[in-house]
Amino acid sequence: MTERTVLVTGAGRGAGHGIALALANDGGTVVVCDLDPETSDKAAELVRARGAKSISIACDVSDESQVAAMFARIGEEVGPLDVLVNTVAWIDPPGPIAELPTDRWHKAIRTNLDSVMYCTRAALAMMIPRTKGVIVNISSLNGTRGFPDRPSYGATKAAVINFTQTTAMENRQYGIRANVLVPGGIEGERVRLLREMAAQRAKEHGDTPPPRIYPDPPMEMLDPEWIGRYVSFLISEDGRHINGQALVIGEAPRSPLQAMFPDI
């Protein structure tokens, strides 16, 4: 068991929720934050039920001032941060670049990329003076190559990979490590919503669903708590020699479409 203090953003649902629960098994203090206060509070209750300490902070991490207030509260209530896990992302409706609204593009950047920078910068202010700390970001296979109809999401997730590597290079001199996990499809609400949005888009454009081009079985989806186990390893003493890496996890898709639509 550990006495470290960990912040998991987006811990109310999805990958962030699974990561927070998995890290709760290691003890210490897990600070959970989510845009929705209710889901954040419920996540904190579940973390405490597993034996770790926890506080819940409702925060829009795409808002610089709210991030500053959250880190000030963390410093006051639980002390300096040892680990930061950035998971927040917005799954925007699919569509081609030619039809991409500017406001949707900017919202993806604010939610998926600005949030990582704001939280990383605030965490480094706590970590550098203590010459220790670990940062883990969550990207996506969408950030490793082009995917049709996913321009803003893919661009921001590619930027998260580069930003993480730069974080590692700049801060290794302070004993701080940074890595990024690159998962494929994750079980839960996000994939369901994306599939519904894609089906609606096809209906609106009079398109027919793409044919099944690969045989069964479909790609196995990642369980959110399994992602948490990978994070637990990366932030542990056993993971101390892993730094500045983009680690692909989950079954590799056989085509770009399978990353989000594993049953085709």
Q: Transcribe 144-171 into DSSP letters.
A: TS--TT-HHHHHHHHHHHHHHHHHHHHH
| Sheet of 246-249, strand order | 53-58, 27-34, 2-9, 83-86, 133-138, 176-183, 246-249
- Confirm if 131 and 150 have CB atoms less than 8 A apart: no
pLDDT of residue 207: 64
Structure tokens of 22? 């998995």
pLDDT of residue 2: 80
Q: Is the peptide bond before 217 cis (omega within 30 degrees of 0)?
A: yes
Domains annotated on the chain, with CATH? 2-259 (3.40.50.720)
Per-position pLDDT tens, the chain of length 264: 689 999 999 999 999 999 999 999 999 999 999 999 999 999 999 999 999 999 999 999 999 999 999 999 999 999 999 999 999 999 888 899 999 999 999 999 999 999 999 999 999 999 999 999 999 999 998 899 888 889 999 999 999 999 999 999 999 999 999 999 999 877 666 555 655 655 665 666 666 555 444 344 455 678 889 899 999 999 999 999 999 999 999 765 544 444 444 433
Catalytic residue chosen out of the listed positions 153, 174, 214, 230: 153
List the alpha helices (DSSP H) in 10-147: 14-24, 37-49, 64-77, 102-109, 115-127
Q: Please calculate the CA angle 109-113-119 and round it to the nearest 5 degrees.
A: 140
Asked about 230 being catalytic, the answer comes back as: no
Nearest to 186 by CA among 155, 136, 227: 227
Q: What is the 3-state secondary structure (H, E, C) of 172-239?
A: HHHCEEEEEEEECCECCHHHHHHHHHHHHHHHHCCCCCCCCCCCCCCCCCECHHHHHHHHHHHCCHHH
